[in-house]
Amino acid sequence: MKILSVAIPSYNSQNYLRKCVESLLPAGDDIEIIIVNDGSKDHTGEIAEEYASRYPGIVKAVHQENGGHGEAVNTGLKNATGLYYKVVDSDDWVDERTLPKIIETLKKLVAGPDTVDAVISNFVYDKVGAKHKKVMQYRKYMPTETVFEWKDLKKMRAGKYILMHSMIYRTNLLRECGLELPKHTFYVDNLFVFQPLPSVKKMYYIDELFYHYYIGREDQSVNEQVMIERIDQQLKVNKLMIDTMAGQRGVNKNCRRYMLSYLDIIMTVSSMLLLKSGTEENLKKKQELWAYLKAADAGL
């Protein structure tokens, strides 16, 4: 059995897919690389088949009609045979110096007495043209390189939260909690991290830079103007996060506190984008969003 399955959601990724795959290959037979060709119109599918042919038993090429990032993550999960599951976007890559440590740590955790649900590591914003790259790490808030629980997590400062780039989940936990991301929707990476959290009991933090988050393309989904154009998709994700938290009972108080802080950030992002757009229609959508939150759970 593979120790780690990595899904690579890929849409028209011919220009950068190779770099992503090549960064993962050094893990050898311990890794399963699932390239999900999400209805690409360029040579992405051919590149996926090329790697599957060259590395049988390591690389899988899965082709589907275009369903969006979330559906590609769902497809990856359905095809995963590894004990742990990670998503690496096709224009990003992992640090080959840290990859062996990630694999060895996962092996150690699988052999140990504790069932660890989530493994967290650091990532860097690899921004085009930036001299100083911003590294996101969590050493102030989490015990390092030891199994810990929610009670051990310190309160994070406002605006600090764990992104998909830092997260590796136990594959069966994602299946057991019923994770299924919506089709044709951007920004579902927040749901990927957020929805399984109430099911997480034990975690492990590796204080090493592992994920390179490429940022700076004009058409990138996190470009502010693009986000305003796709605001309805942001709102859809925001409302699904509200639904996850609404009326929730029996969740560890530290877990709930962290999830509340995470929801706070997403509500702020949605509200600010709606305000910055400056249209009457979007101001109305902002009011509707807050009304949705109040109706779902006035305590939130």
**Residue linked to tokens 């506190």:** 257
Determine the pLDDT at residue 158: 84
- What H or E segment, with its residue span, contains residue 73? helix 68-79
**Read out DSSP for 124-136?**
EEEETT-SSPEEE
Q: How many CB atoms lie within 10 A of CB 78?
A: 13
- CA 134 to CA 198: how far, in whole Å? 29
Maximum CA extent, the chain: 57
**Read out DSSP for 107-129?**
HHHHHSSS---EEEEEEEEEETT
Contact indicator for 28, 97 with CB cutoff of 8 Å: no
**Residue linked to tokens 């990595």:** 6
- CA 88 to CA 104: how far, in whole Å? 19
Q: What is the pLDDT along the chain (300 residues), one digit of tens a residue?
A: 899 999 999 999 999 999 999 999 999 999 999 999 999 999 999 999 999 999 999 999 999 999 999 999 999 999 999 999 999 999 999 999 999 999 999 999 999 999 999 999 999 998 877 777 889 999 999 999 999 999 999 999 988 889 999 999 999 999 999 999 999 999 999 999 999 999 999 999 999 999 999 987 555 556 788 899 999 999 999 999 999 999 788 899 999 999 999 999 999 999 999 999 999 999 999 999 999 999 999 999
- 80 Cβ contact partners less than 8 Å away, ≥ 6 residues apart: 5, 7, 32, 34, 171
HSE, side-chain direction, 13 A CA sphere, residue 212: 22
HSE, side-chain direction, 13 A CA sphere, residue 47: 23
- 160 Cβ contact partners less than 8 Å away, ≥ 6 residues apart: 141, 261
Determine the pLDDT at residue 217: 57
Q: How many CB atoms lie within 10 A of CB 251?
A: 15
Token reading at 200: 């997480």
Contact indicator for 48, 17 with CB cutoff of 8 Å: yes
Contact indicator for 197, 110 with CB cutoff of 8 Å: no
What are the CA-CA distances from residue 247 to residues 64, 70, 78, 109, 299 (Å)? 36, 25, 29, 34, 9
- SS3 of 60, please? strand
- CA 84 to CA 251: how far, in whole Å? 23
- CA 191 to CA 164: how far, in whole Å? 9
Entry field: residues in the chain: 300
**Residue linked to tokens 């229609």:** 281
Token reading at 163: 């992104």
